[in-house]
Structure 1
Amino acid sequence: MSDATPGTGDRLLHMCSREEWRAAQRDGVRVPDGFAADGFVHLSTPAQVHLPANRLFAGRRDLVLLELDPARLSDEVRWEPGVPSDPASMRFPHLYGPLPVAAVVRVQDYLPDPSGAFPPLG
């Protein structure tokens, strides 16, 4: 990893649907639909994953969180600003290459609360 910033020791997470995770397991890598346009895979820390979840997936009940071992990522991770509505000092990890399935050390369901909102993980 490079571009180390405070918080780089945190766990890295990637959010996707169960179906997308099954496809990644079959293919050996996860390449999100937006990868060609963005040039990177969006990642988060546990303390920030609720921000993109609520912005993009409010109410969905088919999401999983992939917990990653940063040492198993062969491509660069850069800590960069999110969208303008995110806190100004917050930086999100972005993986500049496909996400290898071999880097995933844990998979857990990520469910919204009864209101449809995703809570912070802390």
Structure 2
Amino acid sequence: MKPLYRIAEPADWAQAQHTGFFTSQDLATEGFLHSSERHQVLETARRYYAGRRGLLLLEWDEAALEAAGIKVKREWVESRQQHFAHVFGPVPLAAVQRVWPFGADAAGEFHLPPELG
């Protein structure tokens, strides 16, 4: 399975350090956590986090999510004309493989961490 990625607010990540699980407002309001595959991350950042700095990019292991009983379902998102992985539950920290600082540069553009190409 491919890794999944989540652009995260620092406050949500800090809360995860205390609870052992990553969650955010979308789980409460929509019933799932939004996530992306690598090729979807930059467009997601441009659309929803324009010019933002101080964010984080989390890499989730889909197999670890499923092993923890967390359902992952790829659902069609009409506005993007693509399927996106929706995660139906809090993400245990054991499923978080890597974390990078993530934010717009001085020109307002986002770039993937060098490890992701």
Bin the TM-score by the shorter chain: 0.7 to 0.9
> How many residue pairs were aligned?
111
Counterpart mapping for 1:82-93 below 5 A = 82-84=77-79, 86=80, 88=81, 90-93=82-85
> Which of 72, 76, 79 is 2:71 aligned to?
76
Give the % identical residues: 38
| CA gap 1:27/1:83 in 2 versus in 1, 3 angstroms | farther
- For 2:76, the aligned partner's letter is P
Does 2:27 match 1:35?
A: yes
When normalised by structure 1's length, the TM-score is: 0.80
Q: Within 5 Å, give how 1:46-57 maps onto structure 2.
A: 46-57=38-49
The structure carrying a bigger helix percent of its residues is: 2
Deviations 1:71-121 (A, max 9, x none): 21121111112351x2x2x21100011111111011011122332132466
CA distance in 1, matches of 2:75, 2:18: 30
Instruction: Give the RMSD, CA atoms, in angstroms.
Output: 1.7
Map 1:4-43 to 2 at 5 A. 9-43=1-35
Q: Which amino acid aligns with 1:20?
A: D
1:94 counterpart residue number: 86
For structure 1, the 5+ residue unaligned runs are 1-8
* Long gaps (5+) in structure 2: none
